[in-house]
Amino acid sequence: MSVPISYYLVLSAILFGLGVIAFVFKRNIITIFMAIELMLNAVNLAFVAFAHAWNQLDGLVFVFFVIVVAAAEAAVGLAIVITIAQNRRSLNVEDVNLLKF
């Protein structure tokens, strides 16, 4: 007996929810970036599960693109993090308040 597809989707939703919680509650810029990566991973799991369920390859192709975009985003984002850390001498997002409402 194989694993029902709904199990994968529930796991994906749980991981996405934990990623949202980490994104909102963490105060370190690098950890917030990692929360974004966690959310992307959760979405990838849902893509692969759907691709398996419907026996279609398009989901796997989209996972490939998501991974590429995540790599580009990590490169640019971490460069921005390094610049902010050099200018503000802090990694706390509370200290980066120029655009804060």
Partner 1 sequence: MSLPLIVFFACGVTAVLGAVLLIVAREPIHSALSLILVMVSLAVLYLLLGAEFIAAVQIIVYAGAIMVLFVFVIMLLNAGVEERTNLSKMAKYAGVPLGFFLLLEIAHWFWRSAVGARIANGSGTVNASAVSTRDLSMQLFQQYLFPFEATSILILIAILGAVVLAKRGE
Site for partner 1 in 28-67 (CB under 8 A): 28, 30-31, 33-35, 37-38, 41, 44-45, 48-49, 51-53, 55, 57-58, 60-61, 63-65, 67
- Three-class DSSP category at 1: coil
Q: How far are the Cα atoms of 22, 23, 58, 87 from residue 28, in angstroms, in the given order?
A: 10, 10, 36, 16
Q: Site for partner 1 (CB under 8 A): how many residues?
A: 72
Nearest distance, CB of residue 39 and partner 1, angstroms: 10
* Pattern 72-101, partner 1, x by CB under 8 A: xxxxx-xxxxxx-xxx---xx-x------x
Tokens matching residue 55: 């026996």
Out of 9, 43, 88, 96, the only residue in the binding site for partner 1 (CB under 8 A) is 9
Contact 67, 44 (CB under 8 A): yes
The secondary structure of residue 15, as a DSSP letter, is: H
